[in-house]
Amino acid sequence: QKEVEQNSGPLSVPEGAIASLNCTYSDRGSQSFFWYRQYSGKSPELIMFIYSNGDKEDGRFTAQLNKASQYVSLLIRDSQPSDSATYLCAVRDNDMRFGAGTRLTVKP
Partner 1 sequence: DAGVIQSPRHEVTEMGQEVTLRCKPISGHNSLFWYRQTMMRGLELLIYFNNNVPIDDSGMPEDRFSAKMPNASFSTLKIQPSEPRDSAVYFCASSQQDREAGANVLTFGAGSRLTVL
Residue numbers at the binding site for partner 1 (CB under 8 A): 31-32, 34, 42-46, 49, 51, 88, 90, 92, 94-101
Query: Minimum Å distance from CB 60 to partner 1?
Result: 20
Spatial separation of the C-alpha atoms in residues 48 and 74, rounded to whole Å = 9
Q: Which is nearer to partner 1, 1 or 69 (CB)?
A: 1
Query: Minimum Å distance from CB 42 to partner 1?
Result: 8
Q: Which residues contact 32 (CB under 8 A, 6 or more apart)?
A: 49, 51, 91, 92, 93
Spatial separation of the C-alpha atoms in residues 37 and 43, rounded to whole Å = 8
Q: Which is nearer to partner 1, 44 or 65 (CB)?
A: 44
Cis peptide before 10 (omega within 30 of 0): yes
Local structure of residue 54 (DSSP, 8 states): E
Q: Which is nearer to partner 1, 79 or 85 (CB)?
A: 85
Q: Which is nearer to partner 1, 79 or 90 (CB)?
A: 90
Query: Minimum Å distance from CB 14 to partner 1?
Result: 27
